[in-house]
Amino acid sequence: MNKVENLILKNLLLDEVFVRKSLPFIKAEYFADFLEKKLYEVIAKYFTQYNAIPTKEALEIEVGQLDTISDEQHKNILHIIREIDEEKSEPDWIVDVTEKWCQDRALYIALMSSIKIAEGNDEQRAAGSIPSILSDALAVSFDNHIGHDYLEDYEERYEFYHKTEDKIPFDLEFFNKITKGGLPNKTLNIALAGTGVGKSLFMCHVASSALLQGKNVLYITLEMAEEKIAERIDSNLLNCDIQNLNQLPKMMYDNKVTSIAKKTEGKLIVKEYPTASAHCGHFKSLLNELALKKSFKPDIIFIDYLNICASSRFKGNAGNVNSYSYIKAIAEELRGLAVEANLPIVSATQTTRSGFASSDIDLTDTSESFGLPATADLMFALISSEELEGLGQIMVKQLKNRYNDPTVNKRFVVGIDRAKMRLYDVEQSAQQNLSDSGQDDMEKVEENLSKKFASLKV
């Protein structure tokens, strides 16, 4: 008889608190011994039906009514019951031991099931179900949180309202306004733009800004070479036209890079994958390798760009998967990675052909899948035109925003220096001619609030 399993069965008969904490998570299949499995089933059934721990006498009667065991097995189960002593285990310790046992057994069973499926011996499940089987097993834990009680948990709610959330701020005023101070952890943030408008430029600029804030930055590229991305970041941080970087003397280049290294405690890693070949599984492996080999844990991840990632759930060449499902799956997997790694992810997507020439891009102009904006926490369009290019500006239009009201500062412009791969704030006067910007409304609200508070003063 397994000692841990015996200990668990004993405490199920002695400690009601332990029963209530552990019973929802213990499965009969976790017991390797057939007799212990049957005994557990009887205990669980009794407790569920009568909301009480069975006495040994009641347990013997219930076991006697089982018609799926032989007389010899019945005798052996009664022996197990009578051998149980009356000494309880330390409450916290037995809960921890039982949780670890459940996790180990769940993983073992999942691995055995996966091998059976892989060998073609499971008629009910295909090989595609293996990742979810293993994922479910790895997720086993004793989580007793069953929801937020609105009336009883009001103090927790109040503290949450006043809790300062960890965010990575922008160095651009209006982006901080629309995000209430920057990008929070566990989020997916998407820039929508046409080819050549500035998706990569935007991400390189924000990556450079995060590095200067002392953050660890991971930039994953599936479109351009690592050196090309690093070149753009060099242009931004060294304040040098990208066309002139190759003309910098070696000593001057060394001095500039050394000067940047002295200004920040962060690191920036650029990793290249072949187009459409890498998915979240590869990115997770990369995070593990960086942690082991470089002691590097990113604070923010940039993925350039979402549409040319692969999905870990679907094969890209599968004829039965449409673009909506495929791109939505990639977005969900990336957001899942953001939650798991506890950081923000920034990526981009292409506009449709009609959206490329539009001066008023909308969510419907998202290429390939409308499932992408359904998953993203923040989505905005980068819009360029001949007039804006002449002014050295690019327009930003909010499309979806879970951080703030998207109708406030719905449209705004930022300066763009393509030669130095840089964005910058423009004068407030540059914002005044925008139609449907949502900026005037906010100013009126602030003005009305100021008047209201002034009238309350004695």
CATH superfamily, region 167-452: P-loop containing nucleotide triphosphate hydrolases (3.40.50.300)
Q: Count the helix, strand and coil residues of the chain and give each as a percent rounded to the nearest 5.
A: 50, 15, 35
What does DSSP say about strands 344-350 and 378-383: parallel, antiparallel, or unpaired? Answer: unpaired
> Which one, of 79, 1, 86, 84, lies nearest residue 36 by Cα?
1
Kindly state the DSSP code that residue 414 receives in the 8-state scheme: E
Domain edges within the chain: 3-138, 167-452
Phi/psi of residue 383, nearest 5 degrees: -120, 130
Q: What is the CA radius of gyration of the chain?
A: 29
Q: Which residue has the higher pLDDT, 312 or 238?
A: 238
Distance CA 25, CA 370 (A): 38
Amino acid in position 394: I
What does DSSP say about strands 300-304 and 422-424: parallel, antiparallel, or unpaired? Answer: unpaired
Q: Which CATH class is domain 3-138?
A: mainly alpha
415 DSSP β-pair partners: 393, 424
The mean per-residue pLDDT over the stretch 355-375 comes to 66
pTM (2 decimals)?
0.66
User: What is the token pair recorded at 207?
Assistant: 């990556």
- Using CA atoms, how far residue 438 sits from 171, 189, 444, in Å, is 21, 21, 10
Q: pLDDT band at residue 455, thresholds of 50, 70 and 90?
A: low
CB atoms within 10 A of CB 66: 14
User: What is the token pair recorded at 323?
Assistant: 């673009």
Contacts of 162 (CB under 8 A, 6+ apart): none
Q: pLDDT band at residue 458, thresholds of 50, 70 and 90?
A: very low
Contact predicate 218/302, CB 8 Å: yes
Range with the poorest average pLDDT among 157-166, 232-241, 371-380, 420-429: 157-166
- Exposed/middle/buried for residue 175 (C-beta within 10 Å: 0-12, 13-18, 19+): buried
Per-residue pLDDT, 367: 57
Amino acid in position 427: E
- Using CA atoms, how far residue 422 sits from 75, 111, 200, 284, in Å, is 80, 50, 11, 30
- On the question of pLDDT at 317 being above 80, the answer is no
Q: Which residue has the higher pLDDT, 315 or 155?
A: 155
Q: pLDDT band at residue 439, thresholds of 50, 70 and 90?
A: low
Per-residue pLDDT, 353: 57
The mean per-residue pLDDT over the stretch 128-147 comes to 77
> Which one, of 170, 169, 168, 172, lies nearest residue 416 by Cα?
172
Per-residue pLDDT, 86: 83
> In the Cβ-directed half-sphere of 166, how many Cα atoms lie within 13 Å?
9
Distance CA 320, CA 323 (A): 10
Contacts of 396 (CB under 8 A, 6+ apart): 174, 175, 380, 381, 382, 383, 411, 412, 413, 414
